[in-house]
Structures are given as structure tokens and as C-alpha cells.
Amino acid sequence: MEHSGLQSPPTRGSHQFSAPFLHFFLAPLLCAFSGFHTASYLVVGLYTWPRTSRVIVLTIGMLIFSYEFIYKTRVSPPTIRWSFSSLESVLYTCVIPYAVGAGALLVLAAMSE
């Protein structure tokens, strides 16, 4: 006797779509946001405890995100489909967007003077 209510629902989405979305859209966007706000904290100079704790949590969160979702997913050697090593992947999807976000704040601060 088969119960139709006990079957698992079909899954939506696929790993083939979510990995490029994570590596080419979400990770750079989050890292640029983090770089912008960290640079804002350093440039403005209002070193209160709430702002300091927010930047510390944001930085630790980005380090964990970069390690868990970017570095660990690409620990295997490069393949035909993905030609970057894990360190190159972290550089291109996290470090460069972080620097671009920080640079964007510096450019905006220079333009406002």
C-alpha cells in the first residue's frame, strides 16, 4: 500500500544554478557592501561601541562566508568547468569586490569635499 502523502516534494532549483549565482552575484555584492561599510567606519572616525561591534560582526561574518561558501566549495583542483583554484576564487569573488567597495567610499568622500 503506497501513501502519496509520504513522498518528498520535488526540489526546486539546482546546484548548477545556485553556485554561479553565489559566486558571481551574491558574494561580490556582499563583499562590496562590507568593504564600503568598513571603510565608512574607518573614515568617519566615530568609534562608538555600537558601530565598532557592528563592523567587527560584519568582518567576522564575511570571513566565515568567504571560507565556508567560497573557499571550501572550491577546495578541489580546477576542472574544465571551473578553471580557478580555491584561493583564486576567494580573490576574485571576495577580496577584489571588498576593495572596490572600500574604494567606492573613498571616491565618494573625495568627491564630496
Q: For position 96, what pLDDT does the model report?
A: 93
Element (H, E) at 88: helix 86-90
pTM for the full model?
A: 0.74
* Single-letter residue type at 77: P
Least confident stretch, 9-18, 19-28, 66-75, 82-91: 9-18
Of residues 11 and 32, the one with the higher pLDDT is 32
* Single-letter residue type at 85: S
For residues 36 and 103, is the Cβ–Cβ distance under 8 A?
no
Least confident stretch, 10-19, 26-35, 56-65: 10-19
Kindly list the domain boundaries of the chain, sorted by start residue.
Answer: 23-112
CA distance 24 to 96: 12
